[in-house]
Structure 1
């Protein structure tokens, strides 16, 4: 197991006073693990020097030892590596106080982080991370993309994980390079399998296909595992929406979220990566004592579907998908918190006053669930609730299971 080690020391402290302690610590660690690093970090400049010397992306776990207080600002920079962290604190020089602060910082950014205060605890933590290496790697190494911006009405959106931002200017450059023929070829099969086509004409379908091809090329260039897009901004520029493209990507196993929401995207990526299932991202449209209705204009094409326009704008190509009945779960994520509820898909609704795909769920104590959830968008996933909650807990989320 390859372990990176860094020490934090205040700019007010004398490094020579801590050289023996650091040397003995490295020697003990190196007797059982493959150790790299060993830098003293006081400033962000020190972090940059360490970064240039050792590639911490190649270690399995990073051990961070704040030898003194006042080191949090520099040591927090190691979140960039998205590797599990063990924070070692001792009872002297405000080491433990700094360690607690650092552990919380890493956890808030969904980097698995454990605080220990002796070598036996350190060994156990490292071996525990080694046992979970495959699971953690699948989570921590996901490449996330945002095309455009987060929609301004998502007032509770907070996202601390690293992601790749692609501007709408870049999107339009790709879109302009896609021909109408390429657009039609991309959606022709989807059109032929539709149970019905209501509002969209061929021109709208071609635009939807061009959007799909455009996003596919962006995913390839930026090596993304999933993406979200600020979809409403496309309406004024090209008179279309990406609803159909998102439905197609989700159906083929590429997580795709709308409205630029990164938290929902993360949930979709976790469910796809660990359970091989697409997710339906929906608005809460209504609820009662024991039911809840989710609605949105895009949904994975995993059932009979009708091609419609986008509800709010009347443009583009939305989808009305008949999602399968049966047991499922609702998932809402925000930051390091997650809410999970076991539900049953019992049917569809077709109100003209809601987004196109409308699914009715049986939810025990739906009123309590609505009172305790974390915001609007929820993911409907065909995964057992306890199994999903257990995985999220392993990945470091604080989970409320209904």
Structure 2
């Protein structure tokens, strides 16, 4: 039997049926035909056998025992409890919550405004959708982990055990072989579009070589049926005399997660953010800290999010190949960093106050980020040398998703 996602509207049988119908109409507007909608008002009601995940809308008070019964029936199915600000919805959840935490596996909650209940239902739906995407992922580690990542090391078995993600290790020699087979890359319409829409500070031939590497990596992704990969990219510089920065940029622009240096915790952080938001994620190094701001930089960023004409210049450390310098949009961003054990995560909101690539002493794409905490905590309680962000405020949904993944959250 194929599993489906449900919305359970939990309510007291004593409550006004007109109000319950109002709640039901809000649910219908938010989820349409995509989720199965059921009222739940008696502990004697059976739960359908095809429930794969559930949003549990606490419509009214007087439902504490119903919540516990429903949670026990759903057992380890992913559950998002949705409480709102009228009809004693929140008090009912607060009374049941201590027992739900003890007895109900794979759960999280969202507190909503009743007037905007549809908006919060969409958030709950996105959380469950992202969870399904993440647990159904097949990801690649190409070439292994860079030797300088002395702390940010994660075994592929941990990725499977903690998050349910399948991850395979692939030899980088396969990339070299595929690269040698690529012909006529310079005739690609996509390549010509990239060149015409960018400012080139490297010879056109260097961009063609970098794009040729993208074609080779794309063939590997397709043949291995990967939903993303992280690559030990510095090895490529020595072997092919080009860089993976443009390829990584293009994959992330197309929402196929691509990470650098074989850094698995950062790569998985990127994958989680993209699965949740449908936006390209950026991975970078915090490189300078002053008061309540820090500079984050890397030699690749998604071309799709550049606020201005991107600049293609050399890779910073090697001064070879193609590095990607974009201009970040100013505004709110959501940051995430998973621990190497994938058991905990740090997340916070930042505000990009300057996103122009102005420094020649840092990696090519650069953003100054303002935060409401002392950024020295990133050093004092370091979780590694890379952080990841996406544009927009997604903290509430991200916290809910991480709860369902069984990851402990540190919110700065």
Q: For structure 1, which segment, 341-350 or 280-289, has the greater mean C-alpha deviation from structure 2 after superposition? A: 341-350
CA distance 1:133–1:314, change in 2 (3 Å)? closer
State the distance in 1 between where 2:190 and 2:133 align: 30
Cα 1:184–1:317 shift into 2, 3 Å: farther
Cα drift, residue 370 of structure 1: 3.5
C-alpha contact 1:279 1:381 (8 A) present in aligned 2 = yes
Shift of 1:173: 1.2
1:127-164 alpha-carbon deviations (Å, 9 max, x no partner): 99xx9875542221111111112111111123211411
Are the aligned partners of 2:143 and 2:231 in contact in 1 as well (CA < 8 Å)?
A: yes
**TM-aligned CA deviation for residue 187 of structure 1:** 1.9
TM-score scaled by length of structure 1:
0.66
Partner in structure 2 of residue 395 of structure 1: 405
Q: How many Å separate the matches in 2 of 1:183 and 1:393?
A: 47
Q: Where does 1:11-22 land on structure 2 (aligned, <5 Å)? A: none
- Separation in 2, partners of 1:384, 1:229: 29
Tell me, in whole angstroms, the C-alpha distance in 1 between the residues paired with 2:234 and 2:187.
20
Report what 2:30 is aligned to. none
Tell me the distance in 1 between the aligned counterparts of 2:381 and 2:106: 35
Partners of 1:380 and 1:127 in 2: CA distance? 25
Q: Distance in 1 between matches of 2:389 and 2:321?
A: 24
Specify which of 200, 220, 227 is matched with residue 197 of structure 1.
200
- Between the aligned partners of 2:48 and 2:185, the Cα distance in structure 1 is 57
* Cα distance between partner residues in 1 of 2:349 and 2:244: 30
* 2:384 paired with 1:360: no
Displacement of 1:351 after TM fit?
1.7
Higher relative contact order at CA 8 Å, sep ≥6: structure 1 or structure 2? 2
Unaligned regions of 5+ residues in structure 1, if any? Answer: 4-30, 36-58, 62-83, 87-120
Structure 1 residue 339 corresponds to structure 2 residue 346: yes
C-alpha distance in 2, partners of 1:356/1:137? 35
Residue 151 of structure 1 aligns to a residue whose secondary structure is: coil
CA distance in 2, matches of 1:32, 1:384: 35
TM-score, normalisation: structure 2: 0.65
* Superposition RMSD in Å: 3.1
Moved more, 278-287 or 384-393: 384-393
Shift of 1:180: 4.1
Q: Contact (CA 8 Å) 1:182, 1:213: kept in 2 or not?
A: no
1:329-379 C-alpha deviation (Å, 9 max, x unpaired): 221112221111111000035221111111101012222344234111001
In 2: Cα distance, 1:276 partner to 1:320 partner = 22
How many angstroms apart in 1 are the aligned matches of 2:229 and 2:252? 10
